[in-house]
Structure 1
Amino acid sequence: MSGNTNRGPRPVAVIVDGYSAGNFYPAAFAACDTDVIHVQSTPELIPTMAPPDLTAYRRNLVGTDESALAGLVRGLDPVCVIAGQESSVPLADRLSEAVGVPSNGSALSAARRDKYEMIETLRRAGVRCADQFKAGTPDAAVAWAEEHGRYPVVVKPLSSAASDGVFVCDGPDAVRAAAGTVLDTPNIFGLANTEALVQSYLKGTEYIVDTVSSDGERYVCGVWEYEKTLLPSGKNIYNRDLLADPDDNPVVARLTAYVDEVLGALGIAWGPAHAEVIVTADGPVLVEIGTRLNGNLHAPFHDVCLGHNQAALTAQAYTRPEEFRAGYAGRTYTRKQPAVVYNTPTDLDGVVASVDETAVAEIRARESVFFAGVKFAPGSRIKPTVDLLTSSLRVFLTAPDQATLTADYEKVRVLKDAVYRVA
Structure 2
Amino acid sequence: MTETQFIGVAVDAYSTGNFLPAAFARHGAKLIHVQSTPALMPSMLAPNMNEYLENIVFDNEANTVQRLGRHQPVCVIAGQEPGVPLADRLSELLGLPSNGSALSPARRNKYEMIETLRANDIRCAEQFKADNAEEILAWVRETHCLPCVVKPLSSASTDGVVICHNEDEVLAAARQVLASRDIFGLANREVLVQSYLDGVEYIVDTVSAYGRHYVCGIWRYEKRLISGGKNIYDKDILIAEDAPEVAPLIHYIHSVLDALGIEFGPCHAEVMLTQAGPALVEVGARLNGNMHPDFHNGCLGHNQADLIAQSYVTPGLFAERFGGRHYRKRQEAIVFNVATNIEGTVVGLSEQVVAQINALPSVFLASYKVKPGQQLRPTQDLLSSPIRVFMRADNYEDILRDYDVINRLKHEVYVLR
Normalization by structure 1: what TM-score? 0.97
* Residue 390 of structure 1 pairs with residue 395 of structure 2: no
* Residue 262 of structure 1 pairs with residue 256 of structure 2: yes
Deviation at 1:9, TM superposition (A): 4.4
* Residue 164 of structure 1 pairs with residue 193 of structure 2: no
| SS of structure 2 residue aligned to 1:388 | coil
Out of 18, 24, 40, the residue aligned to residue 23 of structure 1 is 18
State the alpha-carbon separation in 1 of the partners of residues 341 and 408 from structure 2. Answer: 13
CA-to-partner distance for each residue in 1:359-384, whole Å, 9 max, x for gaps? 11111101100000000011101110
Which residue identity lines up with residue 376 of structure 2 in the other structure? I
* Residue 339 of structure 1 pairs with residue 337 of structure 2: no
State the alpha-carbon separation in 2 of the partners of residues 177 and 397 from structure 1. Answer: 37
Alignment-derived partner of residue 97 in structure 2: 102
* Residue 279 of structure 1 pairs with residue 283 of structure 2: no
State the alpha-carbon separation in 1 of the partners of residues 146 and 159 from structure 2. Answer: 21
State the alpha-carbon separation in 2 of the partners of residues 9 and 120 from structure 1. Answer: 43
Residues 160, 189 of structure 1: 8 Å contact kept: yes
CA-to-partner distance for each residue in 1:171-216, whole Å, 9 max, x for gaps? 1111111010100101110111110000000000000000000101
| SS of structure 1 residue aligned to 2:383 | helix
* Residue 152 of structure 1 pairs with residue 144 of structure 2: no
Alignment-derived partner of residue 239 in structure 1: 234
Alignment of 1:12-411 (within 5 A): 12-247=7-242, 249-411=243-405
Residues 87, 160 of structure 1: 8 Å contact kept: no
Which residue identity lines up with residue 360 of structure 2 in the other structure? R
| SS of structure 2 residue aligned to 1:22 | helix
Q: Judging changes above 3 Å, is the alpha-carbon distance between structure 1 residues 9 and 283 closer, same or farther for their aligned structure 2 residues?
A: closer
5+ residue gaps, structure 1, are 1-7
| SS of structure 2 residue aligned to 1:112 | helix
5+ residue gaps, structure 2, are none
Which residue identity lines up with residue 233 of structure 1 in the other structure? G
Residues 348, 422 of structure 1: 8 Å contact kept: no
Which residue identity lines up with residue 396 of structure 1 in the other structure? F
Normalization by structure 2: what TM-score? 0.98
State the alpha-carbon separation in 2 of the partners of residues 377 and 55 from structure 1. Answer: 23
State the alpha-carbon separation in 2 of the partners of residues 328 and 153 from structure 1. Answer: 38
State, as a whole percentage, how many aligned pairs show the same letter: 53
Which residue identity lines up with residue 157 of structure 1 in the other structure? P
Residues 255, 284 of structure 1: 8 Å contact kept: yes
| SS of structure 2 residue aligned to 1:72 | helix
RMSD: 0.9
Deviation at 1:64, TM superposition (A): 2.5
CA-to-partner distance for each residue in 1:28-66, whole Å, 9 max, x for gaps? 100110011111111211100011111111111123323
Which residue identity lines up with residue 268 of structure 2 in the other structure? H
Which residue identity lines up with residue 307 of structure 2 in the other structure? L
State the alpha-carbon separation in 2 of the partners of residues 357 and 44 from structure 1. Answer: 35
State the alpha-carbon separation in 2 of the partners of residues 9 and 197 from structure 1. Answer: 46
State the alpha-carbon separation in 1 of the partners of residues 58 and 272 from structure 2. Answer: 39
State the alpha-carbon separation in 2 of the partners of residues 150 and 66 from structure 1. Answer: 43
State the alpha-carbon separation in 2 of the partners of residues 63 and 258 from structure 1. Answer: 36
Which residue identity lines up with residue 109 of structure 2 in the other structure? D
> Mean Cα displacement is larger for which, 39-48 or 216-225?
39-48
| SS of structure 1 residue aligned to 2:155 | coil
Residues 221, 233 of structure 2: 8 Å contact kept: yes
Say how many residue pairs are matched. 415
CA-to-partner distance for each residue in 1:202-236, whole Å, 9 max, x for gaps? 00000000000010111100000000111120111
Residues 273, 279 of structure 2: 8 Å contact kept: yes
Deviation at 1:415, TM superposition (A): 1.3
State the alpha-carbon separation in 2 of the partners of residues 406 and 232 from structure 1. Answer: 25
